[in-house]
Amino acid sequence: MSPIAQRSVGVGLRAVHIAEILRTLPAVDWFEIISENYLVAGGVARANLAAIRQHYSLVMHGVGLYVGSAQGVDPGHLAAVKGLANELDVPWVSDHLCWGSVDGHFSHDLLPLPYTPAVVRHVAEAARRVQGELGRPFLLENLSSYVGYAESTLTEWQFLSEVVEAADCGILLDVNNVYVSALHHGFDPAEYIASLPHDRVRQIHIAGHARHRQLPVDTHDHPVAEPVWDLYAQAMALGGPKPTLLEWDARIPPLGELLAEAAKARQYWPPERTAELAHAEVAHAEVAHAA
């Protein structure tokens, strides 16, 4: 198992950077890969990944398990993800709290779900099965969404919290997605962050977004926006430092620029001493309560 420190920053492994990474071996805590880019057992992509794996820890982030699909998770796809996770020995696997395929047709998008108790049960059961099959922690990431369903009865943060509690899995908290969705749906992103079970947050995504007709779109093609850093700081204050990953998928900058942007995350972490004291206080309170 590859250890990933709580106080660590990674970036997404993208094809344009691979040659430079292997040549220069830059100081990066870890890389996150898109699972679906590496599911074929062979080829250039897998050869590159094997070379990267010799030098860096990796985590796997999926875009195709579709735990919210009404027809269930595709067992063949799950088996391929499991095989790759075993080969890379990643500490966890993540994917999105979404659906994206139906009747064998794939949207190649991350589509939102109706937020209802019945869908909580359906998705939680799927996530629990995925985690069991993988045999390692499974994290669900919140989406950026541009539609809401007429029949939703829960807020998005209630839905996310109830799913991960029922599935006993973790959260990959994407603070940019919280911000983007907040502006579309008109909710308070700080309330969203404050309402989450932070003990279940295992990883954080930060990213930039573009604007279309004044509203943000989750494009991963800009530096992280100031309001998103503010939400990140809030999450750090509430849950402590977590492995943090900068996503940048379009108009990808040079590697040095990407790493510099990712490193900004460190500015928002509480000092280690403060965090240790906070933990000590919690431990003391728990002991006192038990007594």
Partner 1 sequence: MPRDPHDLLMIQRQFAAALQQPLTGDSRERADLDAGHRQPDPAVLRRAEALLADLPFSSRAEGLETYRGQYWYRLLDSMREDLPALRVVLGERRADALFEAYLLAGPPSSATLRHLPNQFPDFVAKRPELGAIRGLALDVARLEVAECQCFEAADGQPIRSDELFSAEVALAPHVNLLQTEHSILAAYRRWWQPGVWRRLAAQVATPQNLVVFRTNGRITVETIAPRPLAVLRAVADNRSVATALGQLTTAGRLRDKDAGPLQGWFHHWQARGWLVHAQGSERGDDVESPGDSCRSSSAAALRPSAGGG
Binding site for partner 1 (CB under 8 A): 19, 22, 36-37, 39-45, 47-48, 51, 64, 68-71, 74, 77, 99, 101-109, 111, 113-114, 116-119, 122, 146-153, 183-186, 212-215, 217
Task: Specify the residue, 103 or 226, whose C-beta has the smaller distance to partner 1.
Answer: 103
Closest contact distance (angstroms) between CB of 177 and partner 1 is 15
Closest contact distance (angstroms) between CB of 99 and partner 1 is 6
For 186, which DSSP code?
T
Closest contact distance (angstroms) between CB of 212 and partner 1 is 8
Query: CB-based contacts of 74: which residues, under 8 Å, 6+ apart?
Result: 65, 66, 101
3-state secondary structure at position 178: helix
Closest contact distance (angstroms) between CB of 112 and partner 1 is 9
- Encode burial over 207-224: b for 16+ CB neighbours within 10 A, e otherwise: bbbeeeeeebebbbbbbb
Query: CB-based contacts of 249: which residues, under 8 Å, 6+ apart?
Result: 12, 14, 219, 220, 221
Task: Specify the residue, 137 or 148, whose C-beta has the smaller distance to partner 1.
Answer: 148
Task: Specify the residue, 121 or 284, whose C-beta has the smaller distance to partner 1.
Answer: 121
Distance of CA 41 to the CA centre of its chain: 24
Closest contact distance (angstroms) between CB of 47 and partner 1 is 4
Phi first, then psi: give them for residue 11, nearest 5 degrees: -135, 160
Closest contact distance (angstroms) between CB of 277 and partner 1 is 42
Q: Is 76 exposed, middle or buried (0-12, 13-18, 19+ CB in 10 A)?
A: exposed
Task: Specify the residue, 3 or 104, whose C-beta has the smaller distance to partner 1.
Answer: 104
Task: Specify the residue, 248 or 269, whose C-beta has the smaller distance to partner 1.
Answer: 248
Task: Specify the residue, 75 or 272, whose C-beta has the smaller distance to partner 1.
Answer: 75
For 207, which DSSP code?
E
Are 116 and 28 within 8 A, CB to CB?
no
Distance CA 153, CA 165 (A): 18
Query: CB-based contacts of 220: which residues, under 8 Å, 6+ apart?
Result: 207, 208, 209, 247, 248, 249, 250
Closest contact distance (angstroms) between CB of 215 and partner 1 is 6
Task: Specify the residue, 3 or 76, whose C-beta has the smaller distance to partner 1.
Answer: 76
